[in-house]
Chain A
Amino acid sequence: MFENILKKFGNIDFYNLALRLTLLDLILRPIGSWEIRVPVLITAILGLVIPGLLKNPAIWFLLTGFTLSRVIFDWPLSDNHAYLLFLWCFAIFISALKKDKILLTKNARLMIGLVFVFAFIWKAFLSPDFLDKRFFSVNMIEDPRFSEFTQVTCNISKDDLDYFRDYVKQHVDGNLVFAEVINFNLKCINKIAGFLTYYTIVLELLVALFFLIPKKISIAKYRDYFLILFCISVYSVATVEGFGWLLIAMGISQSDNKKLPILLYILSFFIILFYREVPVLNIVLEIF
C-alpha cells in the first residue's frame, strides 16, 4: 500500500507544488501591516485559485514587490523570514519569466544551504552565549513560546516559571545596581538547554553541508531528510510556522521529484499546521 501511495507522488509536478505551497504559506501566515497584507493575500489567492495564474510571472513580480516593500518599510525590524520570503518570490519570478524550472531548483538548493551556513556561523562563532547553553536556558524561561515546553520537560509550575522569568528580565542598571537573587534549581533547564544547543547546531551544520556539496557526490541525495528533520523537530518547539513552511516549499522545489522526500515534505507541512492549531503541550499540562 505504501508503494502505491509513493507511486502517486511520483506523478506530482514538484515545481507546481512548490509554488502552491508558497502561496498557501502566504495565505495561512499573512505578512506585514494591512497595507501590505491585503494585496499579498489577494495576489496569493488569485495565484492559487485561478487556472493559469500559478506560473504567471506577473503574480510573482507583484509578490516580490510586496515582500520587498515589507522589508524596506519595516527596517530594521523584519525577521529572517521576511528577507527569505522576498528572495524566494524573486527566485520564482525569474524562473517563471525564463520558464526554467531547473533554475528555481538550483537557486533553492543554494539558498537553503547558505541560510543554514549563516545560521551555523552565528551560533558557532559569533554569538557569545549560544554554545555555553545560555541562549536556550534563558529562552526556556523568558520566551512565552517555550513556556509549555519548559513546564512539561522540567515539571515546573506556571507560577514558578513566571517567578524565574521576572528574575531573568530584571534590568540591572540605573537604580538597580545588583540583581535580586533568588534560589531556584536550574539543573533540568541546563540539561534540556544543552541538548537543544547541540542538536540545533549539529543539524544546521548537516543541512548546510548536504545542501551545498555537489549533487554528483552520492550522499547529497540524503539532504532532504535533514531539512525535513529540522522542520519537524525545531518547529514543534519554536513556533515560527511561516519559516518552516517556506523551507518546505523551497525543499520541494529542489527535491528532483524524488517520491519519498516529497511525501515527507508534504507531511511536514501539515505536521507544522498541526503544531500551530493543536496545543499539544497545553493538553499534556492539563491532563497531568
Chain B
Amino acid sequence: MKKAILYLPTLLLVAIAVNQLILANFFNLSPWLGGGYGMFSTTDVGSNRHIHIYAKSEGIIKELIYPKELSDLALRTKSFPTDRNLNEFTRTIAQIEDDRSINSIEVQVWKSQYKSKTLHPSSKMLKSVELKLN
C-alpha cells in the first residue's frame, strides 16, 4: 500500500485516462478533453461541434442564437453534452428569452463528420433536450 502511494501520480494518470475513455465513448465527451490523450486523433473537437436552439410556440419554430455571455457555457455543453449540462444550458436560455408565447425550448448538440477522400462535411446529432415552459 505504501509503495502504491509513491506511484500515485502514475496510477492517477491511468485512472483519469480510463475514465476519459468511458466518458468519450459512452457519454459524448469530446475525445480531445478529459485527460485521455485523445488530442490530435480525431476531428471531433469540442469547438467543432455546434448547438442549435429552437423556441417552439403554437405552429411556429424559431431558431435562436445564444448571446456572447453564454459562450463559455455553450462550449462546455457542446464538449460534454450530458443531460445535466444540456438542461442547465436550456434553462439559462429559457430565462433569457422573455417571451410568454414560447411553449418549449429545444437544444440540440451536433458534431461534424467528413467523407474520406473528398472531406465532404455532414453532421450528426449527438444529443438533444426539450424543456417545456408552460
- With contact pairs A77-B76, A107-B9, A130-B41 given, residues A122 and B36 touching in the complex (Cβ less than 8 Å): yes
Query: Is B35's CB under 8 angstroms from A80's CB?
Result: yes
Q: Which of B12, B112, B121 contacts A90 (CB 8 A)?
A: B12
CB distance from B8 to the nearest CB of A (A): 7
Q: Report chain A residues within 8 Å CB of B5.
A: 94
Interface status of B110 (Cβ within 8 A of chain A)? yes
Q: Report chain B residues within 8 Å CB of A116.
A: 37
Interface status of B89 (Cβ within 8 A of chain A)? no
What CA separation (Å) do A178 and B43 show in the bound complex? Answer: 20
Chain A, residues 148-187, CB within 8 Å of chain B (1/0): the string is 0000000000000000000111111110000101000010
What CA separation (Å) do A141 and B114 show in the bound complex? Answer: 12
Q: Which residue of A lies closest to B12 (CB)?
A: A87
- With contact pairs A76-B79, A79-B39 given, residues A167 and B121 touching in the complex (Cβ less than 8 Å): yes
Q: Which residue of A lies closest to B120 (CB)?
A: A179
Query: Considering only CB atoms and an 8 Å cut-off, how many residues of chain B contact the other chain?
Result: 52
Q: Which residue of B lies closest to A171 (CB)?
A: B50
Interface status of B42 (Cβ within 8 A of chain A)? yes
A interface secondary structure, majority: helix
Interface status of A111 (Cβ within 8 A of chain B)? yes
- With contact pairs A76-B79, A126-B31, A135-B42 given, residues A173 and B6 touching in the complex (Cβ less than 8 Å): no
Interface status of B94 (Cβ within 8 A of chain A)? no
Among B34, B37, B79, the most chain A Cβ lie within 10 Å of the Cβ of B37
Query: Is B38's CB under 8 angstroms from A126's CB?
Result: yes
Q: Which residue of A lies closest to B9 (CB)?
A: A91
What CA separation (Å) do A200 and B40 show in the bound complex? Answer: 10
Chain B, residues 11-36, CB within 8 Å of chain A (1/0): the string is 01110110001001100011111111
Q: Which of A103, A111, A128, A142 contacts B13 (CB 8 A)?
A: A111
Q: Which residue of B lies closest to A170 (CB)?
A: B121
Q: Which of B31, B37, B110, B119 contacts A173 (CB 8 A)?
A: B110
Query: Considering only CB atoms and an 8 Å cut-off, how many residues of chain A contact the other chain?
Result: 56
Q: Report chain B residues within 8 Å CB of A98.
A: 6
Interface status of B68 (Cβ within 8 A of chain A)? no
Query: Is B17's CB under 8 angstroms from A190's CB?
Result: no
Q: Report chain B residues within 8 Å CB of A186.
A: 117-119
Residues of A24-75 whose CB lies within 8 A of B: 71
- With contact pairs A78-B33, A91-B9, A129-B43 given, residues A172 and B123 touching in the complex (Cβ less than 8 Å): yes
Interface status of A222 (Cβ within 8 A of chain B)? no
Interface status of A274 (Cβ within 8 A of chain B)? no
CB distance from A170 to the nearest CB of B (A): 5
Among B9, B25, B110, B116, the most chain A Cβ lie within 10 Å of the Cβ of B9
Q: Report chain A residues within 8 Å CB of B6.
A: 94, 98, 100, 103
Q: Which residue of A lies closest to B52 (CB)?
A: A174
Interface status of A285 (Cβ within 8 A of chain B)? no
What CA separation (Å) do A122 and B56 show in the bound complex? Answer: 40
Residues of A100-146 whose CB lies within 8 A of B: 100, 103, 106-107, 110-111, 114-116, 118-119, 121-123, 126-130, 132, 134-135, 137-139, 141-142
Could you list 23 A-B pairs, sorted by A, with CB under 8 Å?
A76-B30, A80-B39, A88-B9, A90-B9, A103-B6, A107-B7, A114-B17, A116-B37, A118-B37, A119-B41, A122-B37, A126-B24, A127-B41, A127-B42, A130-B42, A141-B119, A142-B48, A168-B121, A170-B121, A172-B121, A173-B123, A186-B119, A190-B117
Chain A residues proximal to chain B, CB less than 8 Å: 71, 76-80, 82-84, 87-88, 90-91, 94, 98, 100, 103, 106-107, 110-111, 114-116, 118-119, 121-123, 126-130, 132, 134-135, 137-139, 141-142, 167-174, 179, 181, 186, 190, 200, 238
In the A-B complex, the 3 residue pairs with the closest CB atoms: A83-B35, A91-B9, A118-B37
